[in-house]
Amino acid sequence: MATNENQKTDKPEGPGFLSRVFLPVSTVFGTRYIKDCASIATRAVGQIFKPAISDRTETFEEAMVRLDLTEAQLEKQKKSFFRQSLFFFLGSVGLILFSFYRLYILQLVPGALGLFLSGVVLAYAFRAHFWYFQIKHRKLGCTFAEWWSGSVKKEETD
C-alpha cells in the first residue's frame, strides 16, 4: 500500500496536539502578557537614561527676562536651593548611619530600605545643589563635569 506524503491524516500527531487543545501553554502561563510587560519596562528604562533635549536655547539673562525675575528673587532662590541641598545631604547622612546600625543588629530589610531611601534623598540633594550651581554661575545647561569640578567653562564666541 503506497502512501502519499502530501496527504494529511485526521489522526493527531504526538503530544503537541494535546497541549494545543487541552493545555494552551501561552494562555496558561501568560507569555504574551510577560512579553508586553518586558517591552514596556525596557522602554521605560531606556527613557530614564536618555537625556532630555530642550526645545529652547537661551542664555541665563534671556531666561531671567522671560520669567520676569529680579536679582533679589534670584538671590533668594539661590539661598533656598543651597539650604535644601544641605538639608537633604544631612538627612541622607543620618539615614545612612541609621541604616548601617540596622544592618549591624541584623535587621536586614529595614537596613536595605534605609540605604535605598538615602540614595533617593541624595538625588534630591544633588538636584538642589545643581540648580544652586547654575544660578551661582549664571549659566543654563551646565554639565555634571562642570558641577563636579566646581567651575564653568567659558563659551567661545566667534
Q: Which pLDDT tens digit goes with each residue over 86-104?
A: 999 999 999 999 999 999 9
Whether pTM exceeds 0.85: no
| φ, ψ at 126 (rounded to 5°) | -60, -45
Judge whether residue 4 has pLDDT over 60. no
Question: Could you report the per-residue pLDDT of 18-55, keeping only the tens digit for each?
Answer: 556 666 666 666 778 888 888 998 888 887 777 667 77
Residue closest to 116 by CA, chosen among 95, 134, 102: 95
Provide CB contacts within 8 A for 12, sequence distance 6+.
18
| Distance from C-alpha of 17 to C-alpha of 125, rounded to nearest angstrom | 60
| Residue 156: exposure state from Cβ atoms within 10 A (0-12, 13-18, ≥19) | exposed
- Nine-digit cell at 34? 510577560
Weakest-pLDDT range from 2-6, 64-68, 102-106: 2-6
The ranges assigned to domains in the chain are 17-47, 60-149
